[in-house]
Amino acid sequence: MFRFSEKSHMFKPHRSTIVLILVMIFAFSVLIIVSKFAYTPSPAEETFGIDNWIFLHIFEILGFLALVLSIIHSLRVYGRDYTLIFFPSCFLYGLILELPFDSYNQNAWLKVGPYGSMLSVVAGWCVINYILLSISRGMSCNLSVIDRGILCGLLGVSIDIPLDPIAYAYGLWYWDGTFFGFPVITFFGVPVINFMNWFYTIFVFVVFQEYLRKSDFSPKMKFLVSLLTIPLLVMIVFLLAYTTLHLLLIMG
């Protein structure tokens, strides 16, 4: 059975870091420009019907199924210790991040929190982060931790750009052109800041997990640190999100 090699990663940023940062800036700049001309559909709740209902529950089922398969894959490839460190902390991370949002369809089977956040979305964060980390490792074992975080973040945004507009169109969640009360530009009905938040969410978690994985802590200590540090990671993500939001408002 294959086990993930603990080959040393360089933590110092490489030249590739600059390239990845430039790619990130270019990608978000294009997204902002295109969003000014993109079509903004009507709110999805106005057309919610049986097809949307079926799509919603298929999304929920596939989300949890993908989580189970990801855990099985992780156990077989990376081992029990890594799996126990990664998935509980990632689930908690996604759960806390999703709790403040009230834009989810209330017809979902499994909901959590005061606003009925979809639990399948939390499961989806585990799947996305796990898959992106696995892909980045397959692409290169020589990336620095920062490079890996940026790469995973960009890959995540490339997934979300088609995902969120489709989910909006089928009424899985709703946007009203605002983000926490602030008016924002949208891309096919989805706030552009949401795509940036995807990058922040993935980047912060991947960097943390990679640093933790390479630390000298025992597996038990890594497990505890991975859980106890989650509130701090969430605060960092929200700080980045609010800072970016205000910068976008200033830029108009």
**Can you tell me the distance from the alpha carbon of 87 to that of 70, in angstroms, rounded to the nearest whole number?**
9
CA 167 – CA 10 distance, rounded (Å): 38
Q: Residue 112: which H helix or E strand, with range?
A: strand 111-112
Provide the 8-state DSSP code for 117. E
Confidence of residue 240 (pLDDT cuts 50, 70, 90): very high
Mean pLDDT of 206-232: 92
Q: What pLDDT score does 13 carry? A: 53
The residue type of 87 is F
Q: What is the pLDDT of residue 189?
A: 77
Three-state secondary structure call for residue 182: strand
pLDDT in tens, 3-45: 434 444 444 556 666 666 677 676 767 666 666 666 666 555 5
Name the pairing type of β-strands 186-187 and 190-191: antiparallel
Tokens representing residue 102 in the block: 């009230």
Packing angle of the helix pair 219-228, 192-214 (nearest 10 deg): 150
Q: What amino acid occupies position 132?
A: L
**C-alpha separations of 34 from 30, 186, 222 in Å:** 6, 10, 42
Q: Are 234 and 93 in contact (CB under 8 A)?
A: yes
- The confidence band for 208, taking pLDDT boundaries of 50, 70 and 90, is very high
| Residue pLDDT, tens place only, 104-127 | 666 777 877 777 778 888 999 999
